[in-house]
Protein backbone atom coordinates (compact mmCIF):
# COMPACT_ATOMS: atom_id res chain seq x y z
CA UNK A 1 0.00 0.00 0.00
CA UNK A 2 1.30 3.46 -0.85
CA UNK A 3 1.95 6.16 1.71
CA UNK A 4 -1.04 8.11 0.40
CA UNK A 5 -3.28 5.13 1.14
CA UNK A 6 -1.78 4.71 4.58
CA UNK A 7 -2.40 8.39 5.32
CA UNK A 8 -6.08 8.04 4.34
CA UNK A 9 -6.52 5.00 6.59
CA UNK A 10 -4.76 6.75 9.46
CA UNK A 11 -7.01 9.79 9.07
CA UNK A 12 -10.12 7.60 9.29
CA UNK A 13 -8.74 5.84 12.36
CA UNK A 14 -8.14 9.18 14.09
CA UNK A 15 -11.66 10.42 13.28
CA UNK A 16 -13.17 7.11 14.40
CA UNK A 17 -11.24 7.07 17.67
CA UNK A 18 -12.69 10.45 18.57
CA UNK A 19 -16.26 9.12 18.35
CA UNK A 20 -17.50 8.32 21.85
CA UNK A 21 -20.90 6.90 20.94
CA UNK A 22 -22.53 4.94 18.13
CA UNK A 23 -24.66 7.96 17.18
CA UNK A 24 -21.58 10.14 16.91
CA UNK A 25 -19.76 7.59 14.76
CA UNK A 26 -22.85 7.27 12.58
CA UNK A 27 -22.96 11.02 11.98
CA UNK A 28 -19.24 11.37 11.23
CA UNK A 29 -18.85 8.22 9.08
CA UNK A 30 -21.77 9.31 6.89
CA UNK A 31 -19.61 12.15 5.63
CA UNK A 32 -16.55 9.97 4.98
CA UNK A 33 -14.81 10.49 1.62
CA UNK A 34 -11.69 8.38 2.16
CA UNK A 35 -12.20 6.05 -0.86
CA UNK A 36 -12.39 8.01 -4.15
CA UNK A 37 -14.04 5.22 -6.23
CA UNK A 38 -16.62 4.38 -3.60
CA UNK A 39 -17.62 7.97 -3.04
CA UNK A 40 -18.67 7.98 -6.70
CA UNK A 41 -20.44 4.58 -6.69
CA UNK A 42 -22.34 4.86 -3.41
CA UNK A 43 -25.56 6.73 -2.85
CA UNK A 44 -25.33 6.37 0.91
CA UNK A 45 -22.96 5.12 3.60
CA UNK A 46 -24.35 1.90 5.11
CA UNK A 47 -23.23 2.23 8.72
CA UNK A 48 -24.68 -1.09 9.93
CA UNK A 49 -27.31 -2.38 12.34
CA UNK A 50 -26.47 -2.15 16.02
CA UNK A 51 -29.34 -3.20 18.26
CA UNK A 52 -28.79 -2.34 21.90
CA UNK A 53 -26.90 -4.97 23.89
CA UNK A 54 -26.16 -7.14 20.86
CA UNK A 55 -23.80 -9.88 21.97
CA UNK A 56 -23.06 -11.07 18.45
CA UNK A 57 -21.64 -9.05 15.56
CA UNK A 58 -21.82 -10.38 12.00
CA UNK A 59 -19.40 -8.85 9.51
CA UNK A 60 -20.06 -9.06 5.76
CA UNK A 61 -18.20 -7.58 2.81
CA UNK A 62 -19.86 -4.48 1.34
CA UNK A 63 -23.31 -3.08 0.62
CA UNK A 64 -24.98 -4.20 -2.60
CA UNK A 65 -27.72 -2.49 -4.62
CA UNK A 66 -30.54 -2.99 -2.11
CA UNK A 67 -28.36 -1.99 0.82
CA UNK A 68 -27.21 1.15 -1.01
CA UNK A 69 -30.82 2.03 -1.78
CA UNK A 70 -32.17 1.45 1.73
CA UNK A 71 -29.10 2.34 3.83
CA UNK A 72 -29.30 -0.95 5.75
CA UNK A 73 -26.96 -3.96 5.64
CA UNK A 74 -28.04 -7.37 4.32
CA UNK A 75 -31.53 -6.54 3.12
CA UNK A 76 -31.28 -8.02 -0.41
CA UNK A 77 -31.30 -11.70 -1.41
CA UNK A 78 -28.29 -12.54 0.77
CA UNK A 79 -29.94 -10.78 3.69
CA UNK A 80 -33.16 -12.72 3.34
CA UNK A 81 -31.27 -16.02 3.41
CA UNK A 82 -29.21 -14.79 6.34
CA UNK A 83 -32.36 -13.89 8.30
CA UNK A 84 -33.80 -17.33 7.59
CA UNK A 85 -30.68 -19.23 8.69
CA UNK A 86 -30.28 -17.02 11.78
CA UNK A 87 -33.87 -17.76 12.78
CA UNK A 88 -33.29 -21.51 12.28
CA UNK A 89 -30.34 -21.25 14.66
CA UNK A 90 -32.54 -19.47 17.20
CA UNK A 91 -30.98 -16.06 16.62
CA UNK A 92 -33.32 -13.16 15.88
CA UNK A 93 -31.88 -10.77 13.31
CA UNK A 94 -33.07 -7.78 15.34
CA UNK A 95 -30.86 -8.82 18.25
CA UNK A 96 -27.71 -9.22 16.17
CA UNK A 97 -25.42 -6.40 15.05
CA UNK A 98 -24.61 -6.51 11.33
CA UNK A 99 -21.65 -4.65 9.86
CA UNK A 100 -19.58 -4.73 6.69
CA UNK A 101 -15.87 -4.52 5.96
CA UNK A 102 -16.58 -1.48 3.76
CA UNK A 103 -19.59 0.78 4.22
CA UNK A 104 -19.97 2.07 0.69
CA UNK A 105 -21.16 0.10 -2.33
CA UNK A 106 -18.30 -0.66 -4.74
CA UNK A 107 -18.80 -0.01 -8.49
CA UNK A 108 -20.43 -3.03 -10.20
CA UNK A 109 -20.30 -4.76 -6.80
CA UNK A 110 -16.60 -5.48 -7.27
CA UNK A 111 -14.64 -6.85 -4.32
CA UNK A 112 -13.32 -4.02 -2.13
CA UNK A 113 -9.62 -3.33 -2.63
CA UNK A 114 -7.04 -3.58 0.15
CA UNK A 115 -6.77 0.22 0.48
CA UNK A 116 -10.56 0.49 0.87
CA UNK A 117 -10.61 -2.30 3.45
CA UNK A 118 -7.81 -0.55 5.32
CA UNK A 119 -9.60 2.82 5.20
CA UNK A 120 -12.90 1.51 6.42
CA UNK A 121 -11.17 -0.65 9.01
CA UNK A 122 -10.89 2.42 11.21
CA UNK A 123 -14.68 2.70 11.40
CA UNK A 124 -15.09 -1.05 11.82
CA UNK A 125 -12.59 -1.31 14.66
CA UNK A 126 -14.21 1.58 16.49
CA UNK A 127 -17.65 0.05 16.01
CA UNK A 128 -16.40 -3.22 17.51
CA UNK A 129 -14.91 -1.36 20.47
CA UNK A 130 -18.17 0.52 21.07
CA UNK A 131 -20.28 -2.65 20.72
CA UNK A 132 -17.92 -4.89 22.74
CA UNK A 133 -19.62 -8.09 21.54
CA UNK A 134 -19.13 -11.55 23.02
CA UNK A 135 -18.54 -13.02 19.60
CA UNK A 136 -17.70 -11.90 16.06
CA UNK A 137 -18.79 -14.00 13.07
CA UNK A 138 -17.33 -13.17 9.67
CA UNK A 139 -19.31 -13.94 6.51
CA UNK A 140 -17.19 -14.74 3.45
CA UNK A 141 -13.58 -14.28 2.41
CA UNK A 142 -13.18 -10.49 2.62
CA UNK A 143 -14.39 -10.30 6.21
CA UNK A 144 -12.43 -13.37 7.34
CA UNK A 145 -9.20 -12.11 5.77
CA UNK A 146 -9.69 -8.66 7.25
CA UNK A 147 -9.29 -10.25 10.69
CA UNK A 148 -7.20 -13.35 10.08
CA UNK A 149 -4.92 -12.18 7.27
CA UNK A 150 -4.74 -12.48 3.50
CA UNK A 151 -3.00 -15.87 3.56
CA UNK A 152 -5.80 -17.63 5.46
CA UNK A 153 -8.30 -19.73 3.50
CA UNK A 154 -11.96 -20.05 4.41
CA UNK A 155 -11.62 -23.84 4.62
CA UNK A 156 -8.81 -23.56 7.17
CA UNK A 157 -10.52 -20.78 9.12
CA UNK A 158 -13.86 -22.60 9.48
CA UNK A 159 -14.59 -24.81 12.48
CA UNK A 160 -12.08 -23.05 14.74
CA UNK A 161 -12.81 -20.45 17.41
CA UNK A 162 -10.22 -17.71 16.77
CA UNK A 163 -9.26 -14.79 18.98
CA UNK A 164 -9.47 -11.19 17.82
CA UNK A 165 -8.03 -8.81 20.41
CA UNK A 166 -9.63 -10.76 23.24
CA UNK A 167 -12.94 -11.43 21.46
CA UNK A 168 -13.84 -14.85 20.06
CA UNK A 169 -14.20 -14.94 16.29
CA UNK A 170 -15.77 -17.56 14.05
CA UNK A 171 -15.50 -17.53 10.24
CA UNK A 172 -18.10 -18.92 7.85
CA UNK A 173 -19.30 -18.60 4.27
CA UNK A 174 -21.07 -15.60 2.83
CA UNK A 175 -24.79 -16.12 2.19
CA UNK A 176 -24.16 -15.22 -1.48
CA UNK A 177 -22.04 -18.40 -1.77
CA UNK A 178 -24.90 -20.36 -0.25
CA UNK A 179 -27.23 -18.85 -2.86
CA UNK A 180 -24.79 -19.51 -5.70
CA UNK A 181 -24.42 -23.21 -4.88
CA UNK A 182 -28.15 -23.67 -4.24
CA UNK A 183 -30.22 -25.08 -1.38
CA UNK A 184 -28.47 -28.46 -1.56
CA UNK A 185 -24.97 -27.07 -1.96
CA UNK A 186 -22.18 -27.47 0.59
CA UNK A 187 -21.92 -23.73 1.48
CA UNK A 188 -25.57 -23.58 2.60
CA UNK A 189 -25.12 -26.61 4.88
CA UNK A 190 -21.89 -25.16 6.24
CA UNK A 191 -23.42 -21.74 6.90
CA UNK A 192 -26.40 -23.34 8.63
CA UNK A 193 -24.11 -25.47 10.80
CA UNK A 194 -21.79 -22.57 11.63
CA UNK A 195 -24.65 -20.28 12.67
CA UNK A 196 -25.86 -23.03 14.99
CA UNK A 197 -22.36 -23.24 16.45
CA UNK A 198 -22.36 -19.44 16.91
CA UNK A 199 -25.68 -19.61 18.76
CA UNK A 200 -24.24 -22.31 21.01
CA UNK A 201 -21.14 -20.23 21.80
CA UNK A 202 -23.16 -17.30 23.11
CA UNK A 203 -23.73 -17.48 26.81
CA UNK A 204 -27.33 -17.58 27.97
CA UNK A 205 -28.69 -14.03 28.44
Site residues (vs ligand SF4, CB under 6 A) = 12, 29, 32-35, 38-39, 45, 102-104, 116, 119-120, 123
**3-class DSSP state of 188:** helix
- Whichever of 85 and 147 has its CB closer to ligand SF4, that residue is 147
104 binds, among ligand URA, ligand SF4, none (CB under 5 to 8 A by kind): ligand SF4
- Nearer to ligand URA by C-beta: 34 or 82? 82
For 10, 27, 30, 144, 176, the CA distances from 23, given in Å and listed in that order, are: 21, 6, 11, 26, 30
Read off φ and ψ for residue 59, nearest 5 degrees: -125, 115
124 and 13 Cβ atoms separated by less than 8 Å: no
Residue 107 to residue 36: CA distance in whole angstroms:
11
Among ligand URA, ligand SF4, none, residue 102 binds (CB under 5-8 Å by kind):
ligand SF4
Q: Which residues bind ligand URA (CB under 6 A)?
A: 60-64, 67, 73-74, 76, 78-79, 100
Picked from ligand SF4, ligand URA, none, the partner binding residue 177 (CB below 5 to 8 A depending on kind) is: none
Which of 60, 187 has the CB closer to ligand URA?
60
Cα–Cα distances in angstroms (integers) from residue 3 to residues 13, 105, 114, in the given order: 15, 24, 13
Give the shortest CB-32-to-ligand SF4 separation in angstroms.
3
Q: Whole-angstrom Cα distance, residue 120 to residue 100?
A: 9
Amino acid sequence: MSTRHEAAAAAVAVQAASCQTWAELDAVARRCTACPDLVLSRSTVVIGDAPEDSRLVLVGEAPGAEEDRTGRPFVGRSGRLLDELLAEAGLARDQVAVLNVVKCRPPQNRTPGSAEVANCGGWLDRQLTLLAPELICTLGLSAMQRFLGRRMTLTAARGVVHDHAGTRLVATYHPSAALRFGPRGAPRAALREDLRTVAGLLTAP
